[in-house]
Structure 1
Amino acid sequence: MARYSPPSLRCFFRCAASSASRAVGSGTRKKNLVFLGSPQVAASVLDKLLGASGSPESAFQVAAVVTQPPAAKNRGRKLMPSAVAQLALDRGFPEELIFTPERAREESFLSALKEVEPDVCITAAYGNILPQKFLDIPSCGYELSLCICTLREAPELLSMLFHLGSKLLINELPSILDGSAKDKAQPQDDSKATLAPKLNSEESWLSFDEEAKVLHNKVKIKVISTKVSTSCVKVGDENEILFSGSSLLIPCSGSTWLEVLELQLPGKKVTKAQDFWNGLRGQKLMKLP
């Protein structure tokens, strides 16, 4: 574990607390909050937490910040702090309380965190798996998740969700810290949870035995673009790939067709389907059965 030092020298918020309940004192001291995050959207959350903690009526204070270690960026490959670390430094947060462990399971980091005596830890796009030893440190004695579940494809939406989540988080923190949130919290129905397992190399292949929409959803995460064809296409050979308009038409399961708008050959740049088709010079294109 290393604390942050200057270069020259994780839509979801989770309040983690130990499963073994420990009573929160009834004193008037502000509760210690530890924030974990790394990218710019997480920095916006920290900024709001620091602003809210400065109020005399605030129930909490930001006692420490945990973020990813400095990384080499730009052409000079100069080590630069994460957006969260930079925001903390810009706001005058003590450097010795900005922790940048390689792994959250490091004993030196966990020991340093215990010394802070956090009542609650907030994670927002931290980017590191938190072990049970970490989850056992905060003293509030319960777990609470605040999330916004409607997701769309837009960087602007990500910022908006973090903005809304920050407001929700700050509104709920007093009840989290005094324990009243536990009474109104609703447990998650794990049977309705959707898992997102790690992608493997086999999933990079497209099987045209699947429907066009399934294949389209796989390609959406790549630079190459596709769309589901709404055209009524008739062809003699069921494995023949056609060209229409500006797209390659690939026959798929269920009499559906996938339109390929762009593609990339090994070692080549991304090219439009029309340019690729023109390069075939009349050759027939078939998919493997």
Structure 2
Amino acid sequence: MTTKELRKLPADIYDSDPVRSRLGRTASFQKRLWLEEATISGSPPELKRAVFHGRKSVRWGSTQQVRVGRLRERSARVTTFVRCMSEESSSSRKSLVFLGTPDVAADVLDVLLEASQDRNSLFQVAAVVTQPPSTRGRGRKLLPSAVEQRALDKGFPSDRIFSPQKAGEEPFLEELKDLKPDLCVTAAYGNILPTKFLNIPRCGTVNVHPSLLPLYRGAAPVQRAIQDGVKVSGVTIAYTVRALDAGPIIAAEKYEVDPNITAPELLRTLFKKGSDLLLREMPFVLDGTAKEKAQEQDHSKATLAPKVTVEESWLNFDEPAEILHNKVRAFAEWPGTRARFLLCSSSGETQSIELKVVTTLVNSLSAESLPSGGEVSLVRDALVVPCGREGADCTYLEIVKLQPPAKKVMSARDFCNGLRGQKLLKDSKGAPLSSVYMAA
């Protein structure tokens, strides 16, 4: 809309009190303007949608006093201000509520918010639901979830961000009902949704799940898939039902897994693909055709992906190198992987040392360069550890990066340079073989 068109807007959108309002017909939209308090009278009651100005929101009502932030020269904020005057665009859009908690879920929220800005968008994000603030970091400060922080950074109104302890709390459900959502979208929300919740949205609740359902249902699908060494994974858009990740499948997309990719990297990739897949399916979800065509899961093929525990973080060199490599990749972000070694001095004295194993490889060295016997050796830039059975069945784990106690992450070569003639031996006695998780 041009400046001339802006000046021709009806007079009733301006405050009758020129002292309180600095937006008038003669105002130049080429300069910085301040809108401090403006009473919008005569606006249709349907125009009760949020418009974002930095971190502050404007809600338009029939006669409602609002507070607006700074408006700069003919920016996107002016365009948004004018667009909110369109009754047609507001009334035709479906109301969507997003539920998520970690960084990868915040990325999904970004995609939805950006898509909702399009003038032809079929939906608008009416509310964001996330887990309550938690204490974390070195200072153990109480911090909001990544989704809540991202929503605030995007200028989403704080009174439309909900963080109930449980999604079944009656006060929260009442507020959700008042929003009259057409659709709820979940992505790594981390909270059980009761039947009372699932009955609220008209079009149901859909979930972005980073696995090819019915495989890897549960809290840690990517970690468990990498731990199992899968070569193909994917992402699924499915309806949410009371049973865990067991709803009808709307769409799914496969993804080839690189043998050295870590869980955080794969998780972000799958949620990005899931966001795009969700947008492609959104028209069919909103008009109801997706529910008619959704495929029921084959529950006989279902596998579970339970939460990872700290007790699983130990590496035992009696296991094959490939299993240990997959474990390092799977637990890269949390809880990490640890291993015990023995430092042997020239006098024969030994000392146990615990190292955090950060990055590993397998099968990258030629047979001629591999060390003989059970001694740990530095080959090229990797600390090579014999694993599994001795002899022909022996495999080798190549530790590229590690972290000694109370030190920063370093290369294997830098670590070996600091040994000052001491030999490094593997120590499997203190590392348990047992694991809470049983591979699928």
TM-score, normalised relative to structure 2? 0.49
The equivalent position to 2:201 in structure 1, one of 126, 129, 138, is 138
Q: Pick from 113, 116, 138: which aligns with 2:179?
A: 116
Partner of 2:386 in structure 1? 251
Matches of 1:123 and 1:47 in 2, distance apart?
Answer: 14
Alignment of 1:35 onto 2:98: yes
CA deviations 1:34-71 (Å, max 9, x no partner) are 2224544123222234225x53xx65444333235567
1:197 aligns with 2:324: no
Residue 361 of structure 2 corresponds to residue 227 of structure 1? yes
Given that 2:97 and 2:125 are in contact with CA atoms closer than 8 Å, whether structure 1 keeps it comes out as yes
Give yes or no for contact 2:250–2:291 (8 Å, CA) kept in 1: no
Larger mean CA deviation between 218-227 and 145-154 belongs to 145-154
Q: CA separation in 2, counterparts of 1:128 and 1:66?
A: 10
Look up the match of 2:7: none
Equivalence for 1:175:
284
SS in 2 for 1:225: strand
**1:166–1:203: structure 2 CA closer, same or farther, 3 Å change rule?**
closer
Task: Map residues 72-221 of structure 1 onto 2, 5 A cutoff.
Answer: 81-89=148-156, 95-140=158-203, 143=239, 145-150=250-255, 153=261, 165-220=274-329, 221=332
Tell which has more relative contact order, 1 or 2 (C-alpha 8 A, sep 6+): 1
Does the Cα contact within 8 Å between 2:184 and 2:204 map onto a contact in 1?
no
Per-residue deviation, 1:210 = 1.4
Is contact 1:31–1:60 with CA below 8 Å preserved after alignment? yes
**1:119 shift after superposition:** 2.7
Q: Is the 8 A contact 2:100 2:189 kept in 1?
A: yes
How far does the alpha carbon of each residue in 1:1-23 deviate from its partner, in whole angstroms, 9 at most, with x for none?
Answer: xxxxx8xxxxxxxxxxxxxxxxx
User: Is residue 71–residue 82 contact of structure 1 (8 Å, CA) maintained in 2?
Assistant: no
Counterpart contact for 1:67–1:126, Cα < 8 Å: yes
By percentage of residues, which structure has more strand?
2
Q: Residue 83 of structure 1: CA displacement? A: 0.7
Report the CA distance between 1:166 and its aligned residue. 4.0
Contact 1:241 1:286 in 2 (8 A): yes
Q: Distance in 2 between the 1:74 and 1:277 partners? A: 31
Higher mean C-alpha deviation, range 28-37 or range 98-107? 28-37
Flag the 1:207–1:70 CA change in 2: closer, same or farther, 3 A. Answer: closer
1:274 alignment counterpart? 413
In structure 1, what residue type is equivalent to 2:415?
F
Quickly say closer, same or farther: Cα 1:32–1:258, change in 2 above 3 A: same
CA shift in 2, pair 1:276/1:35, >3 Å: closer
Describe the SS at the equivalent of 1:267: coil
TM-superposition CA deviations, 1:131-180 (whole Å, max 9, x none): 44322322336825544442664888877765654454344333223322
Give 2:86's aligned residue. none
**What is the aligned partner in structure 1 of residue 114 from structure 2?**
48
| Offset at residue 208 of structure 1 (A) | 1.1
Tell whether the 8 Å contact from 2:183 to 2:202 is kept in structure 1 after alignment. Answer: yes
1:285 partner amino acid: L
Equivalence for 2:209: none
Deviations 1:112-144 (A, max 9, x none): 112222232112344544344322322336825
Change (3 A) 1:127 1:282: same
Query: Contact 1:34–1:63 at 8 Å: present in 2 too?
Result: yes
The higher radius of gyration belongs to: 2
| Equivalent-residue separation in structure 1 for 2:317 and 2:203 (angstroms) | 52
Paired residue secondary structure (1:101): coil
Displacement of 1:105: 3.3
Once the two structures are TM-superposed, the CA of residue 252 in structure 1 deviates from its matched residue by: 0.8
SS at match of 1:280: coil
Contact conserved, 1:37 with 1:84, CA < 8 A, in 2?
no
For 2:133 and 2:189, the matched residues in 1 are separated by: 13
User: Could you tell me which residue of structure 1 aligns to residue 127 of structure 2?
Assistant: 64
| Distance across 2 between alignment mates of 1:119 and 1:63 | 10
What secondary structure does 1:209 align onto? coil
Count of residue pairs brought into register by the alignment: 254
Which of 274, 279, 285 pairs up with 2:424? 285
Q: Which runs of 5+ in 2 are unaligned?
A: 1-54, 56-90, 206-238, 240-248, 337-356, 429-440
- On the 8 A contact 2:108/2:275 being kept in 1, the answer is no
Q: Identity rate of aligned residues, in percent?
A: 50
Contact 1:69 1:82 in 2 (8 A): no
Measured on the aligned residues, the alpha-carbon RMSD in Å equals 3.6
Deviations 1:231-269, CA, capped at 9 Å, x for gaps: 323524xx3222222222111123110111222222222
Q: Tell me which residue corresponds to 1:263.
A: 402
